[in-house]
Chains A and B, each alone.
Chain A
Amino acid sequence: MLHISWVDWSVIALYFVFVIGIGIYLRKFTSTGEDFFLAGRRNSSWIAGLAFLSANMGALELLGMTGNTFEYGMYVAHFYWIGAIPAMLFLAVYMMPFYYSSKIHSVPGYLKLRFDEKTRVLNAISFALMTLLVSGINLYAMALVLRTFLGWNWDACMWASAVTVAAYVTMGGLMSAIFTEIIQFFLIWFGLMLASIMGLIEIGGWKAIFARIPDSMGKLWSTSADPSLNGMHVTWMGIVLGLGFVLSFGYWTTDFLVVQRALSAKNLRSARMTPVIASFFKMALPFIVIMGGLIAWVLARDPSSGFKLLVDNGQVRYDSALPMLLARYYPEGLIGLGVTALLAGFMAGQAGNISAFNTVWTYDIYKSVIKKNASDKHYVWMGRVATIAGILISIVTAYWAKSFPSIMDYMQAIFSWVNAPLFATMLLGMFVVWITPNGAFWGLVAGMVSSFTLFILVKFDLISRSLITLSNNASPMAANFWRAWWAWLICFSVTIIVSFFTKPRPREELVGLVKRMTPIAKEEDAPFYKKPAVVAVFSLIILVVLNLLFW
């Protein structure tokens, strides 16, 4: 347990007071449905871009990825580079015009316009469930940190954080969530980056760290031909198809949690710039999480350093790598800042999920199925009720997550269940005119069911993992990549096959929803260096350089 002084407590308490204060301040600016669910559609691309990235920087991002780097090595950087950047740029250049111009409130809203009501409701329900499960994980991880490192009572920290998030999202809706996400973005950099800087100083710099790491842990691609050569036990094909294509595109282009932030931008050009701006910061994040994990790995193998991860019931807790680095490097005052940065990350992750849940619940389930013609005021009221209900359900799912031995298993199963097949549906829906509503619906059902079935069959050893990973010594993470790929392929194939035998929607109804049927969207004028496609190319160049640098 860390020693926490009154200064540290003051820093932590100040942050809680601050976010509640922001909620109270923003309440008077939040009166209509567009204010509450889309933050009034007035944000600049910088605000939307930072919020876009911050919504993704939850519990898994900080603790999980640092811990994963300790376990798997440099391969975890694939989650930030090939596993994020191409998808973010694809969203900006090709998909955002459809999302933004159709003035939808949500991704299920697009499915309703492109296909039909049943596809929308199926996706809305699965997405709502996913957000509540992920929100519960953020609550659980926050409580885990508070309990492990501050010695707080388990129930008390779970409820304290839940009540804080409920208060500010209920008052200010998406705008509150975005404000706190951006503040959290800066807190994370200022609160956690110092751990990597101190580690670099202590070990003797960049080269000294990599000199002490074997190639299996310190390279990105040169050890990917054979799974036995790298720490993650995966081949380049698993990375490219499973992570780089399906999981990454599935998450960054169809997960409404992140897309919603881009929709809050003030115009189409800002909406397209949102993921492009976020891509630069996403590429920089490994300096905190990957570097932190590698520093922890080096220190843990040097007995003279005195550095150890937590051990619980004989099992090493990889997720403790980042908090243990804070404990090592941060004196009083900075410890409060580091813990606040972690708490802010969890709360922003949870707020992001809850604000996406209240929108999808209100527009795609409540308004679509339960009460179709109510006033705008009524839907804002329902959004606030959904926020509180969502938080209460998250507390239940947090206790459920607590009962799982590994959060990562649970998380990847959820993502490959919902996002991987949805990406096939969205891709076909946006780019192929003759895909039918029944094709999309049954493809989505087949993809989701197959993903879930594969997870259960492998987990309970009913089939061998090597059957889906095409190799004999693949890690559970490699199995996640491959399962996502198969779920995508099944959804893609079933959607096409069923579309051959069923009736498509009339072409005139697809204007603005399918690429071939959509006039080129008129974008606000800007100098060429501010055009999304041009800046996206610059981002791609940096991505290539980073991959070559750590090849």
Chain B
Amino acid sequence: MSEKKMLSIWFFVGLMLTVLGLMVTLTGVNYLFHPQNQTPVTLVHQHLWWGLRNPNLWWGAIMLVGGLLFLIPAYIHYRAER
């Protein structure tokens, strides 16, 4: 293996989850103001918990936090070793 210092896999995992989590969260924020998304389940079960109608918000936030937990330590470690 080359001696050049390589970014760890966890950095890439974190980057991917952070970017995708941010995109999903932003769509969730948009639905708060423009609740136009109608999946079959919201049409059939109107009585269900509101989260079923806007999972983008909480699921995207979980992804975003999870991504940052990988991304930041991996980047700090990489900078420290360079």
Report which A residues bind B (CB closer than 8 A).
7, 10-11, 14-15, 18, 22, 25-26, 28-32, 34-35, 40, 42, 47, 178-179, 182-183, 186-187, 190, 194, 198, 201-202, 304-307, 327-334, 337, 340
> Can you show 9 pairs from A to B with CB atoms below 8 A apart?
A183-B9, A190-B66, A194-B59, A328-B39, A332-B37, A334-B24, A334-B27, A337-B20, A340-B20
**Across-interface contacts of B17 in A (CB, < 8 A):** 186, 190
A32 CA to B2 CA, complexed, in Å: 9
A223 CA to B59 CA, complexed, in Å: 38
Q: Does B63 contact A (CB under 8 A)?
A: yes
| Inter-chain contact A305/B16, CB cutoff 8 Å | no
| Residue of A178, A307, A329 with most partner-chain B CB within 10 A | A329
Given A47-B9, A201-B48, A305-B44, A329 contacting B1 (CB threshold 8 A): no
Q: How far apart are A179's CB and chain B's nearest CB, in angstroms?
A: 5
| Inter-chain contact B23/A179, CB cutoff 8 Å | no
Q: Does B79 contact A (CB under 8 A)?
A: no
- Mark out the residues of chain B between 1 and 32 whose CB falls within 8 Å of any chain A CB in the assembled complex: 1-2, 4, 6-7, 9, 12-13, 16-17, 19-21, 23-24, 27-28, 31
List the 6 shortest-distance A-B pairs measured between CB atoms, nearest first.
Answer: A40-B1, A333-B27, A331-B37, A29-B2, A306-B44, A333-B24
**Across-interface contacts of B48 in A (CB, < 8 A):** 201-202
Given A7-B23, A194-B55, A327 contacting B13 (CB threshold 8 A): no
| Residue of A25, A34, A190, A305 with most partner-chain B CB within 10 A | A190
Q: How far apart are A16's CB and chain B's nearest CB, in angstroms?
A: 12
**Across-interface contacts of B27 in A (CB, < 8 A):** 7, 331-334
In this complex, what residue of A is CB-closest to B63?
Answer: A190
Q: How far apart are A31's CB and chain B's nearest CB, in angstroms?
A: 6
**Across-interface contacts of A198 in B (CB, < 8 A):** 41, 52, 55
Q: How far apart are B28's CB and chain A's nearest CB, in angstroms?
A: 7
Total residues of chain B contacting the partner, CB 8 A:
39
Since A182-B9, A186-B16 are in contact, a sample of 13 more A-B pairs with Cβ atoms closer than 8 Å, ordered by chain A residue number, is A11-B24, A14-B20, A32-B1, A182-B13, A190-B66, A201-B48, A306-B43, A307-B40, A329-B41, A329-B55, A330-B39, A331-B31, A334-B56
A28 CA to B1 CA, complexed, in Å: 10
A329 CA to B55 CA, complexed, in Å: 9
**Across-interface contacts of B1 in A (CB, < 8 A):** 29, 32, 34-35, 40, 42
**Across-interface contacts of B9 in A (CB, < 8 A):** 47, 178-179, 182-183
A328 CA to B6 CA, complexed, in Å: 41
Given A14-B19, A186-B17, A327-B40, A25 contacting B7 (CB threshold 8 A): yes
| Residue of B41, B59, B63 with most partner-chain A CB within 10 A | B41
| Inter-chain contact B20/A331, CB cutoff 8 Å | no
**Across-interface contacts of A35 in B (CB, < 8 A):** 1-2
**Across-interface contacts of A31 in B (CB, < 8 A):** 2
| Inter-chain contact A333/B56, CB cutoff 8 Å | yes
Given A10-B23, A29-B1, A35-B1, A179 contacting B55 (CB threshold 8 A): no
In this complex, what residue of A is CB-closest to B60?
Answer: A333
| Inter-chain contact B4/A202, CB cutoff 8 Å | no
| Inter-chain contact B4/A29, CB cutoff 8 Å | yes
**Across-interface contacts of B45 in A (CB, < 8 A):** 202
A194 CA to B56 CA, complexed, in Å: 10
| Inter-chain contact A183/B12, CB cutoff 8 Å | yes
Q: Which of A10, A29, A304 contacts B6 (CB 8 A)?
A: A29
Q: How far apart are A350's CB and chain B's nearest CB, in angstroms?
A: 19
Q: Does B49 contact A (CB under 8 A)?
A: yes
A307 CA to B44 CA, complexed, in Å: 10
Q: Which of B19, B23, B44 contacts A333 (CB 8 A)?
A: B23
**Across-interface contacts of A179 in B (CB, < 8 A):** 9, 12
**Across-interface contacts of A15 in B (CB, < 8 A):** 16
A186 CA to B27 CA, complexed, in Å: 21
